[in-house]
A and B are shown apart, each in its own frame.
Chain A
């Protein structure tokens, strides 16, 4: 142990923390500081003010977009996890090569360009797109539907599908950890399959469910590319508004304040996920 302390000389700590400060801590603090500044024409006035936050909370449009976005992302997280769960259960039930092939098949699409996938989705969902053509051809609808054309429904659908692999993986990891002996014991005690699923599998996979929910929520709330591409003129989300403050609207301080609100929401979501992720009656893993 005495020799080991040689590794940890004060100079080492200094270099380590200096790098972390320059790369991560100071940028995040600059971001926080920016939210208290204001903009005058094209210059930034560095006199601290609460103006941006007051504007964010009092502007009815801002608040309605804020809550709508939270609702949208909550729904995306819920539905994606709901779809991912049975898929993870199915993969977990497979063995050998079939398991790896299916696992690869669900996760390999992550490698294909995010922008390209959304773009392709746009052409599938569009008024003259593949989906409408198929529905027309099969006679399910008579006129092209505009339900998924450039609105929040399209954002919902695209993100739910694109984020599904991110939800499958953590659930699968938590399912894998459940010892087979537990369900066998329950079966020996004459519990039905459904009872075992409800009282053994689901509670023990809570860490995976919590990770899937929080991850898909965070990924969707921070996305501005998808709403920009398939959201259309009315499909405004919080992320898209923040992005516009750093572009055309050119109000960095206001954009930063909205970003701080977003970060606050994420901290709350992570805290909720930690609570949800605790296995009932067991030690945390």
Chain B
């Protein structure tokens, strides 16, 4: 159905205004990596790469970035493995088991991160576990598990039972069936879930803030900086991450374009 020109212009205008509002803070962030700024105001228009040069000496910042990558990687691997087990369990059992598992898995995802974070904070204190990167990682698993679970469970349901039953009828063990029949069929959804989990973990702030000990991740480091001002080196890291994301997105769009005639 075609739309009237005035309606189309109006819609485009609203979209453009929203994009300006969304990209305003991103522009400020990138500008801060190249231009001298004070309290968000550009001081002079002579761009420099000094902030990128300082990166190699800013060990605290680099360390927090490494910790974020480590927490993200571990939380993602645990989540995807656990979600696979849970999804297998609920698709095999169905009925009440499936409903109960889904309800529990989605609870920390549906509740605001704050409620989940505080629950874990109180729980860890009750059982006497000190706050550290370990508690942060567990917190991330609790939050991102639902995403992985949903992706994998949907794929398993689509896969159906006939192939699995055929494999078992032909005398394959449960492990062989998982390894040779189920796993190859769900690889795509495992990869997609892992990517999404890692992205969510990478910028997780609210739960991490409640569960972190002395060692902190990158978002918490930034949060700590906000009082005195975020350093240009942090802006430089964010500019690099943004460039990588945009390059990845452009690549994905390009691949999509090539795959479509």
Contacts and interface: CB of A to CB of B under 8 A. Distances in A.
Contact of B122 (A31, A86, A102): A31
Contacts, number: 232
A249 interface: no
A109 B26 contact: yes
B197 interface: no
B168 to A, nearest CB: 4
A69 to B, nearest CB: 12
B238 A27 contact: no
A30 B119 contact: yes
Interface string B110-135: 11111110111111001000000000
Interface in B210-261: 210, 218-219, 222-223, 226, 230, 234, 238, 241-242, 245-246, 249, 252-253, 256-257, 260
Contacts of A20: 86, 101, 104-105
B118 A242 contact: yes
A87 B22 CA distance: 13
A177 B252 CA distance: 23
Contacts of A130: 24, 28, 40-41
Contact of A224 (B39, B114, B218): B114
B115 A30 contact: no
A221 interface: yes
Contact of A100 (B110, B138, B230, B253): B253
Given A4-B161, A106-B22, A180-B1, A129 B89 contact: no
Interface string A109-147: 101111111111111101011100000000000000000
A20 B174 CA distance: 23
Given A3-B168, A6-B174, A222 B28 contact: no
Interface residues of A, number: 84
Interface string A162-194: 001100000000000000100110010000010
A108 interface: yes
A111 B14 contact: no
Interface residues of B, number: 85
A62 B119 CA distance: 21
B244 to A, nearest CB: 9
Nearest to A161: B21
B203 interface: yes
A183 B2 CA distance: 10
Nearest to B31: A120
A229 B145 CA distance: 29
B26 A87 contact: no
Contacts of A113: 203, 218-219, 222, 238, 241
A77 to B, nearest CB: 13
B82 A164 contact: no
A228 B110 CA distance: 23
Contacts of B209: 225
A238 B27 CA distance: 31
Given A16-B89, A28-B107, A90-B15, A222 B206 contact: yes
Interface string A72-116: 000000000001001101110100110011101110110111111
A223 B21 CA distance: 20
A71 interface: no
Contacts of A221: 112
Interface of B: 1, 3-4, 7-8, 10-12, 14-15, 18-19, 21-26, 28-29, 32, 39-41, 82, 85-86, 88-89, 92-93, 97, 101, 104-105, 107-108, 110-116, 118-123, 126, 138, 141-142, 145, 161, 164-165, 168-169, 174, 199, 203, 205-206, 209-210, 218-219, 222-223, 226, 230, 234, 238, 241-242, 245-246, 249, 252-253, 256-257, 260
